[in-house]
Amino acid sequence: MKPSSPISFTSSSLAPSLPRKHRLSPYLFTLLIFIFFVSVLYGEDFMCIFGQLEPTFSLRPSQATEKNKKPQKLAFAIGKTEENCDVFSGKWVRDEVSRPPYEEWECPYIQPQLTCQEHGRPDKDYQFWRWQPNHCDLPSFNATLMLETLRGKRMMYVGDSLNRGMFVSMICLLHRIIPEDQKFIKTTGSLTVFTAKEYNVTIEFYWAPFLLESNSDDAIVHRISDRVVRKGSINKHGRHWKGADIIVFNTYLWWMTGLKMNILQGSFDDKEKVIAEVSTEDAYRMGMKSMLRWVKNNMDRKKTRVFFTSMSPTHAKGIDWGGEPGQNCYNQTTLIEDPNYWGSDCRKSIMKVLGEVFGRSKTPITLLNITQMSNYRRDAHTSIYKKQWSPLTAEQLENPTSYADCVHWCLPGLQDTWNELLFAKLFYP
């Protein structure tokens, strides 16, 4: 069949005849009026129906607009991380040139719970590993830049003993360039303050293992098996954090008492206490939301920065990495090489809670995702090479795995890398 001639839209072809006027059908007009009134009356219901059809991870219009906004420059930033660079995804590389960043003996601030060499660890292999991101390099830690940036400011670590280890690591990374008569450290109750007088800087640690008020808040005597957290009580501790310019939060291990958590509805001073038992995930979600609200209400996003350190893994079950039953971090001197390794102690349900809460929040908090990289480091724990606060029994001495500490980390060691990641995200977000 011969195709019909194409229609020409040149001015000459249109000139001979004027377009005819088309009248709107009265039926069509009535239908349009009807649709208009229905959309006005029931528009919200239609939106709800269509909203339910959206994919789980789709962006609603308001979210898309937020994403397309020009990102606001973060406080303390002096540059940007390379494009497509995830500093938390990478591998450990043996490095006997730049590691360790300091020696154990030259940093007097390390607690005896973390001085593995002093307490007889025979090897130093755990000190010679450097984190190498897959598609970029970590900026070198610059103590002078850190202290000059912090001049006249407060930097604070808030959380449990793992965050205290990170706090001590930061002091060890900085203290060598501070004159001896210009630095001192003091502990009062839950607060430990390191002062660099020459820079008018304080680097602080505040003990609050749940961030919220709990029956484990005593910085010295806190070994309580039946842990209770008070709902909506973050201001009990938060009043001590006000005025900080940089805060690094952590909380995880203390929530892991089982599948349930005890939540106090009233006050610890009440004669009759109302305690609800909720799932660990719901309790943790409550804690994270409380932290985000506190940050939103108390931290100036234009002048301050807030970080949250993800869960620190333990290596208490050798069967997780193919070891023998009953084996743990004791006597482990090599890394786990499986890039997909994930220990059973790191609850993915908790990581999911973190993703949900942080993903929905507009509060600017930088997540330091140290979990995967630390999962490979079964070799870096203090194990038995630490100060023992109670005399060991004969049975324990015969079986070192029974008292090996597979929670905390030797210094220098892994937690120096955590602070290098903090440094990278602070200055090159």
CA of 97: how far to CAs of 90, 101, 410, in Å? 20, 10, 19
* The predicted structure's pLDDT at residue 258: 87
- Round to whole Å and give the CA distance between 143 and 273: 49
**Strands 191-196 and 183-188, sheet pairing:** antiparallel
- Catalytic machinery residues: 161, 405, 408
Between the CA of residue 422 and those of 127, 206, 296, 419, what are the distances in Å?
Answer: 19, 18, 21, 5
The domain spans of the chain are: 90-209+235-250+284-428
Query: What six digits make up the tokens of 159?
Result: 């959380």
Strands 246-249 and 154-159: parallel
Beta bridge partners of 309: 368
pLDDT in tens, the chain (429 residues): 444 433 333 333 333 344 444 455 665 555 565 555 444 443 433 333 333 332 222 223 333 333 445 667 899 999 988 888 999 999 999 999 999 999 999 999 999 999 999 999 999 999 999 999 999 999 999 999 999 999 999 999 999 999 999 999 999 999 999 999 999 999 999 999 999 999 999 999 999 999 999 999 998 888 778 899 999 999 999 999 999 999 999 999 999 988 999 999 999 999 888 999 999 999 999 999 999 999 999 999 999 999 999 999 999 999 999 999 999 999 999 999 999 999 999 999 999 999 999 999 999 999 999 999 999 999 999 999 999 989 999 999 999 999 999 999 999 999 999 999 999 999 999
CB contact at 8 A, 256 and 281: no
What φ, ψ does residue 354 adopt, rounded to 5°? -60, -45
Residue 359 has what pLDDT? Answer: 92
Residue with tokens 């604070």: 156
- Number of C-beta neighbours around residue 387 at 10 A: 12
Instruction: Give the pLDDT score at 56.
Output: 25
End-to-end CA distance of the chain: 65
Which residues, other chains included, contact 99 with Cβ-Cβ below 8 Å and sequence gap of 6+? 127, 128, 129, 130
What is the DSSP secondary-structure string of 362-376?
A: -S--EEE--HHHHHT
Q: Answer whether 284's CB lies under 8 Å from 255's CB.
A: yes
d(CA 94, CA 97): 9
Task: State the CB neighbour count (10 A cutoff) for residue 425.
Answer: 20
User: What is the distance between the alpha carbons of residues 232 and 236, in angstroms, rounded to a whole number?
Assistant: 9
Amino acid 165: pLDDT: 98
How many residues are there in the chain? 429
Give the tokens for residue 29.
């007009």
Cα angle value 138/153/293 (rounded, 5°): 80
Radius of gyration of the chain (CA): 29
**CB-CB contact of 158 with 204 (8 Å):** no
